[in-house]
Amino acid sequence: MSTKDGPLYLGFDLSTQQLKAIVITSQLKVLYEAKVDFDADLSKYGILKGVHVNEQEREVFAPVAMWLEAVDLVLQRLKLKNTPFSRIKGISGAGQQHGSVYWSMNGEELLSSLNPGATLVEQLARKAFAHPFSPNWQDASTQKECDSFDAELGSPERLAQVTGSKAHHRFTGPQIMRFHKKHPAVYRATSRISLVSSFLASIFLGRIAPFDISDVCGMNLWDINAGAWCEPLLALAAGEDGLEDLKKKLGGVREDGGGRMGNISSYFVSRYGFPSDCGIAPFTGDNPSTILALPLRPLDAIVSLGTSTTFLMSTPKYLPDPSYHFFNHPTTAGLYMFMLCYKNGGLAREKIRDKLPKPINSSDPWSTFNETALSTPSLGQSSPSDPAKLGLYFPLPEIVPNVRAGTWRYNCDSDGSNLRESEKGWSSDADARAIVESQILSLRLRSHNLVHSPSKEYPPQPGRIYLVGGGSLNPAIARIVGDVLGGVEGVYKLDVGGNACALGGAYKAVWAMERTKGESFEELIGGRWRESEAVEKVDDGYRTETWSKYGKVLKTFEKMEGEVLKGEKRNK
């Protein structure tokens, strides 16, 4: 089929700071891309980095109206690029995980009777939602609710065993529990609760979409082994309004990540010229969607360098633990997604970058940061007798370890001994390398159970490491990832750069609409994917000496986190 007349597929990524869209052919060729950057394009909503913050209550939330406006805007931008909407046969996509949207009693009716002559925001923002905001994954207001969740099943270990994760501030169950307590009247005026992924799918479907089998695992409410809601946890979140009422608000969970939930809403047919039989496939979380951007093999890992940093692997083994997350795989029953997630990713690195002199001879705002990071020796040691530098840089309270906001600088000897808090600290120059090292050391520390030796001559580590998200454009970060985490086959980035998650959505749409009976995502996409057109090697990865050098301080890094955690308990 030529690129001029075949069917096209559209993928979305509604993440923290942007809405991205990508259009591809059946043969996975990228034809059109567009994005809306919330701060740059929709600053009238008063957001910063896509969100509002109420520091007093540690709340972080985003305006639902802004997302509605972004949908029309990104489609207009695709239209300006002459995207032939009439050829789009399927749509899927992703939403930032855990966020919840509260529909009003007549929300679904308004959604199903949109007038194509007016915008989504004009028609839905004021009346279709019981609450104008969606709690964001960076929210940290739910410590009490998390304690109740962990206690309900007996322990964090048990909660992780059942739901794939211990209780986390951002997970939707604890968020709903707090929402119910804080806004009981609004809770009662809510007809349905969507996740960000199912909210976006609902907009295109013209009715409220069910949850997706993978994204539902980000709620602390879904029993992964049983494939059903965990009723004691639902009852806990629902309080006096009761389990049955919350079940109705949540609606169904669709087990099949493919197929079509229905055809596109007539709003998009009339307003943009989509064909009326364009299918809407289930949308998933942004991390599950990211693992669909390439055929990921068992020992391969993805490091997503977006607003959050996440480390993702696809695995047939369900090995839950309170220090990380397991989700159902978004397309393939019997597979799981392993994830580590950090709040202090891109924005923490930006803060260090902004302390360095502004680049003079380059339009790349990262050039000083990169030169500084690359000219600094590993662990800031010019010689083995220099103290090694280990830091923690958390402008926001972190997830792993669960500590308050703060910056900590420590030193130790080359063999990892003699850990002590650095008396004098060090310059911002040294921070540039130290922040990236510390973020990647944490990934290495926490992923070691999931990796094994690729062959006799190598210690346990990933095979390939794929970098995605905004930070994947950065060569200095790629180099440090290779230094610290290894990767015997090297470090790669995707040609679509920061658009991997939206690309995963588009691939999912292709599979959802074109699969033959029983054909898996891996079979269909694996058969059409052309490595040379999709990825680029950006670092050799494993270097024995450097990798061992970081290995010597890995336990010390863990000890440093422990010291900071002890201080946390003292301060409580």
Ligand X SMILES: Nc1ncnc2c1ncn2[C@@H]1O[C@H](COP(=O)(O)OP(=O)(O)O)[C@@H](O)[C@H]1O
Q: Helix, strand or coil for residue 368?
A: helix
Q: CB neighbours of 531 closer than 8 A, spacing ≥ 6?
A: none
> How far apart are CB 302 and ligand 5SP at their closest, in Å?
12
Instruction: Using CB under 6 A, pick the residue from 350, 514, 523, 558 that binds ligand X.
Output: 350
Minimum distance from residue 228 beta carbon to ligand 5SP (Å): 22
CA dist 497 and 494 (Å) reads 5
How many residues in the shown chain lie near ligand X by CB under 6 A? 16
Q: Does 16 bind ligand 5SP (CB under 6 A)?
A: yes
Min dist. Cβ of residue 283 to ligand 5SP (A) = 13
**Residue indicated by tokens 């970081």:** 550
Give the residue, chosen from 16, 119, 141, 556, that forms a contact with ligand X under the rule CB under 6 A. 16
361 burial (CB, 10 Å; 0-12 / 13-18 / 19+) is exposed
> Pattern of binders to ligand 5SP over 303-332, x per CB under 6 A?
---xxx-x----------------------
Closest to 498 measured CA to CA, from 360, 297, 293: 293
> How near is the Cβ of 103 to ligand 5SP at its closest, in Å?
21
Binding residue (CB under 6 A) for ligand 5SP from 10, 15, 201, 396:
15
The verdict on whether omega for the bond into residue 401 sits within 30 degrees of 0, i.e. cis, is: yes
Q: How far is the CB of 306 from ligand X (least distance, A)?
A: 3
Please give the distance of CA 90 from its chain centroid, rounded to a whole number: 23
User: Is residue 467 helix, strand or coil?
Assistant: strand
The 10 Å CB-count burial string (b at 16+, else e) for 296-309 is beebbbbbbbbbbb
Shortest CA distance to 217 belongs to which of 175, 177, 160?
Answer: 160
Distance separating alpha carbons of residues 440 and 550, to the nearest angstrom: 10
| Residues paired with 134 in a beta bridge | 62
Which residue's Cβ lies closest to ligand X? Answer: 470
Q: Among 17, 191, 265, 438, which residue interacts with ligand X (rule: CB under 6 A)?
A: 17
Residue 556 found at the interface with ligand X (CB under 6 A):
no
Which of 165/307 has CB closer to ligand X? 307
Is 105 buried (19+), middle (13-18) or exposed (0-12) by CB count in 10 A?
A: middle
- In angstroms, what is the minimal distance from the CB of 359 to ligand X? 12
Contacts of residue 154, defined as CB under 8 A and 6 or more positions apart, other chains included, come to: none
Q: Where are the beta strands (DSSP E) in 399-463?
A: 406-412, 420-421
Is 39 a residue that touches ligand X (CB under 6 A)?
no
Residue with tokens 């058969």: 527
Can residue 90 be called a binding residue for ligand X (CB under 6 A)? no
Distance CA 205, CA 379 (A): 51
Please give the structure tokens belonging to residue 127. Answer: 């009346």
Tell which one of 295, 322, 391, 470 touches ligand X (CB under 6 A). 470
To the nearest whole angstrom, how small is the minimum distance from the Cβ of residue 102 to ligand X? 22
Q: Is 169 in the site for ligand 5SP (CB under 6 A)?
A: no
Question: Binding partner of residue 341 among ligand X, ligand 5SP, none, CB under 5 to 8 Å per kind?
Answer: ligand 5SP
Q: Could you say whether residue 310 binds ligand X (CB under 6 A)? A: no
| CA angle (380, 384, 388) in 5-degree steps | 35
Q: Which residues, in sequence order, are CB contacts of 411 under 8 Å at separation 6+?
A: 387, 388, 389, 390, 418, 419, 420, 421, 422
For residue 18, state whether it binds ligand X (rule: CB under 6 A).
Answer: yes
Task: Give 98 or 549: the residue with its C-beta nearer to ligand 5SP.
Answer: 98
Question: Does the footprint of ligand X cover residue 471 (CB under 6 A)?
Answer: yes
Residues in region 206-225 near ligand 5SP by CB under 6 A: 218
CA distance 52 to 183: 18
What is d(CA 400, CA 334) in angstroms, rounded to the nearest whole number? 27
Query: Least CB distance from residue 566 to ligand 5SP, whole Å?
Result: 26
Q: Residue 189, interface with ligand X (CB under 6 A)?
A: no
**Per-residue binding letters, 247-286, with ligand X (x by CB under 6 A):** ----------------------------------------
Binding of ligand 5SP at residue 137 (CB under 6 A)? Answer: yes
Interface positions, 415-454, toward ligand 5SP (CB under 6 A):
none
The footprint of ligand 5SP (CB under 6 A) covers 15-16, 96-98, 137, 170, 218, 285-287, 306-308, 310, 341
The footprint of ligand X (CB under 6 A) covers 15-18, 306-307, 346-347, 350, 366, 469-471, 473-474, 498
